[in-house]
Structure 1
Amino acid sequence: MTFISKSLLARLAMLLTMLTAPIAGATVYDAELSAELLHGPDLCAHAACADVMPLAKRFSKRLGSPQYVQALDADGKVVGYVFLSTDVVDIPAYSGKPVITLIGMDSKGIITGVRVIKHSEPILLAGIPESALLKFIDQYVGLRGDAKLEIGRGGDGSVGLDAISGATVTAIAENQVISRSAYEIGRQVGIFTTAARPPARFTPRDERLNWGKLADEGALGRLTISAREVGADSARGDYIDLYFGYLNTPTLGNSLLGEDNYQRLMRDLKPDEHAIFVIASGQTSFKGSGFVRGGIYDRIQVRQDPETYTFRDTDYLNLYHLQPADAPDYRESGIFIVRSQHFNPAWPWTLTLLVNKLDNKGVKTFAHYDQPYWLPARYLEGGHPTVVTARPAWQNIWLDRMPQIGLFLLTLLATAVLYAQRDRLVRASSRKHKPLISWPRLLLWLISAGFIGFYLKAQPSITQIMTWLHALINQWRWELFLSDPFIFLFWWFIIITVLLWGRGLFCGWLCPFGSLQHLMLKLGSAIGLKRFQQLLPKKLHDRLRWLKYAIFFGLIGVSLFSMETAEHLAEIEPFKTTFLVGVWNRTWPFWLFIGAILGLSMFSERPYCKYLCPMGAGLALPGKFRLFGLKRKAECTTCHACAAGCGSHAIDSEGRIDQMECMLCLDCMIMYYDDHACPPLVKERKQRETKGQALTRIGADGYFLSLDSLRAALPSKGKENP
Structure 2
Amino acid sequence: MIAHVLRLLFAALFCLASLTALAEPLTRDDLGAVLPQPYTLGEKLTETGVYQLLNIGQIDAGYVFETEPLAPLPGFSGAPINMLVLLDPDGQFLDVRLIEQNEPIFVSGLGEAPLREFFEQYAGLSITSSIVVGTPYGDSSGGSSLVYLDGVTKATASVRIAHESIMGAALAVARDKMQGLSLQPPAFPDPDHRETLTWEDLVEQGIASRLLVANSEVDAAFSGTLWEDDDPDARADPDAPYLDLWVVDIGPQSIARAVLDDEGFTELRNFLAISEHDEPILVIETARHGLVGPDFVRNTAPGLLSAEQGGFPIALRDADLFFGLAEGVPDGTALILRTDRRLGFDPASEWTLTVQAVREHGVFQPQSGSVALALNHSTPARFFTRPAPVVAAPPWRSALMERRSDLILLAVGLSILVTVLLLRTNALAALRMFTPVRLAVLALVICFVGWWGQGQLSIVTVLGVLRSAVEGGSLAFLLYDPFSLLIWVVTIAGFILWGRGLFCGWLCPFGAMQEFTHHLGRLLRLPRYDPSRRWDKRLKWVKYILLAGMIATVFVAPDHVDTVAEIEPFKTAVTTLFLRDWYYVAYAAAWLIAGMVLFKGFCRYVCPLGAVMAIGGLLRGRDWIARRKECGSPCQLCRVKCSYGAIEPSGRIQYSECFQCLDCVSIHDDPTRCVPLVLKSRAPQRPSSSSRTQTAAS
TM-score between the two structures when normalised by the length of structure 2: 0.60
Residues 1:571 and 2:566 are matched in the alignment = yes
Distance 1:558 1:88 in 2: 25
Q: What is the aligned-residue RMSD (CA, Å)?
A: 3.4
Correspondence for 2:515 among 483, 508, 518: 518
- Note the C-alpha offset of 1:600: 1.3
Distance 2:458 2:34 in 1: 37
Distance 2:553 2:54 in 1: 46
Larger displacement relative to structure 2 (166-175 or 612-621): 166-175
What is aligned with 2:321?
A: none
Residues 1:596 and 2:590 are matched in the alignment = yes
TM-score between the two structures when normalised by the length of structure 1: 0.59
SS in 2 for 1:150: strand
Residues 1:447 and 2:444 are matched in the alignment = yes
What is aligned with 2:75?
A: 93
Residues 1:159 and 2:147 are matched in the alignment = yes
Contact 1:105 1:113 in 2 (8 A): yes
Correspondence for 1:500 among 497, 501, 508: 497
Contact 1:109 1:191 in 2 (8 A): no
Correspondence for 1:393 among 378, 392, 395: 395
Correspondence for 1:83 among 43, 65, 84: 65
SS in 2 for 1:142: coil
Distance 1:101 1:424 in 2: 54
Distance 1:626 1:87 in 2: 41
Contact 1:426 1:673 in 2 (8 A): no
- Relative to structure 1, the CA distance from residue 124 to residue 515 in structure 2 (aligned partners, 3 Å threshold; closer, same or farther) is same
Distance 2:46 2:630 in 1: 80
Residues 1:114 and 2:108 are matched in the alignment = no
Contact 1:426 1:669 in 2 (8 A): no
SS in 2 for 1:542: helix
Correspondence for 2:182 among 188, 193, 203: 193
Distance 2:665 2:88 in 1: 70
Residues 1:668 and 2:664 are matched in the alignment = yes
Residues 1:547 and 2:542 are matched in the alignment = yes
Distance 1:426 1:462 in 2: 31
- Note the C-alpha offset of 1:48: 3.4
Per-residue CA distance 1:550-607 (angstroms, 9 max, x = gap):
2122222332323333442121111112222443223x32122111111111223211
Distance 1:655 1:491 in 2: 31
- Relative to structure 1, the CA distance from residue 676 to residue 692 in structure 2 (aligned partners, 3 Å threshold; closer, same or farther) is farther
Per-residue CA distance 1:428-458 (angstroms, 9 max, x = gap):
44xxxx31x3233112101111111111111
What is aligned with 1:636?
A: 631
- Note the C-alpha offset of 1:193: 2.1
State, as a whole percentage, how many aligned pairs show the same letter: 29
Residues 1:410 and 2:407 are matched in the alignment = no
Please identify the structure whose Cα radius of gyration is greater. Answer: 2
**Relative contact order: is structure 1 or structure 2 higher (C-alpha 8 Å, sep ≥ 6)?**
2
What is aligned with 2:643?
A: 647
For 1:111, the aligned partner's letter is: F
Residues 1:559 and 2:554 are matched in the alignment = yes
- Relative to structure 1, the CA distance from residue 664 to residue 69 in structure 2 (aligned partners, 3 Å threshold; closer, same or farther) is closer
Distance 2:87 2:424 in 1: 62
- Note the C-alpha offset of 1:490: 0.9
- Note the C-alpha offset of 1:170: 2.9
- Relative to structure 1, the CA distance from residue 634 to residue 90 in structure 2 (aligned partners, 3 Å threshold; closer, same or farther) is closer
- Relative to structure 1, the CA distance from residue 592 to residue 66 in structure 2 (aligned partners, 3 Å threshold; closer, same or farther) is closer
What is aligned with 2:33?
A: 48
Distance 1:441 1:469 in 2: 34
- Relative to structure 1, the CA distance from residue 191 to residue 644 in structure 2 (aligned partners, 3 Å threshold; closer, same or farther) is same
Per-residue CA distance 1:643-662 (angstroms, 9 max, x = gap):
22111121222222211111
Distance 2:555 2:38 in 1: 44
Distance 2:631 2:551 in 1: 37
Correspondence for 2:166 among 178, 190, 195: 178
Correspondence for 2:652 among 634, 638, 656: 656
What is aligned with 2:296?
A: none
Contact 2:510 2:570 in 1 (8 A): yes
Alignment of 1:43-442 (within 5 A): 43=28, 46-48=31-33, 50-51=35-36, 54-56=37-39, 58-63=40-45, 68-86=50-68, 88-106=70-88, 109-154=91-136, 155=140, 156-185=144-173, 188-189=177-178, 192-194=181-183, 390-425=392-427, 428-429=430-431, 434-435=432-433, 437-442=434-439
- Relative to structure 1, the CA distance from residue 46 to residue 566 in structure 2 (aligned partners, 3 Å threshold; closer, same or farther) is closer
- Note the C-alpha offset of 1:125: 3.8
Correspondence for 1:677 among 673, 679, 682: 673
- Relative to structure 1, the CA distance from residue 179 to residue 600 in structure 2 (aligned partners, 3 Å threshold; closer, same or farther) is same
Per-residue CA distance 1:516-547 (angstroms, 9 max, x = gap):
11112223334xx1352453333332222221
Distance 1:63 1:553 in 2: 42
- Note the C-alpha offset of 1:481: 1.1
Q: Which runs of 5+ in 2 are unaligned?
A: 1-20, 187-309, 312-345, 347-387, 691-698
- Relative to structure 1, the CA distance from residue 82 to residue 541 in structure 2 (aligned partners, 3 Å threshold; closer, same or farther) is same
Contact 2:131 2:392 in 1 (8 A): no
Count of matched residue positions in the alignment of Structure 1 and Structure 2: 464
SS in 2 for 1:48: helix
- Relative to structure 1, the CA distance from residue 97 to residue 556 in structure 2 (aligned partners, 3 Å threshold; closer, same or farther) is closer
What is aligned with 2:476?
A: 479
Per-residue CA distance 1:296-339 (angstroms, 9 max, x = gap):
xxxxxxxxxx99xxxxxxxxxxxxxxxxxxxxxxxxxxxxxxxx
- Relative to structure 1, the CA distance from residue 421 to residue 439 in structure 2 (aligned partners, 3 Å threshold; closer, same or farther) is farther
- Relative to structure 1, the CA distance from residue 466 to residue 180 in structure 2 (aligned partners, 3 Å threshold; closer, same or farther) is closer
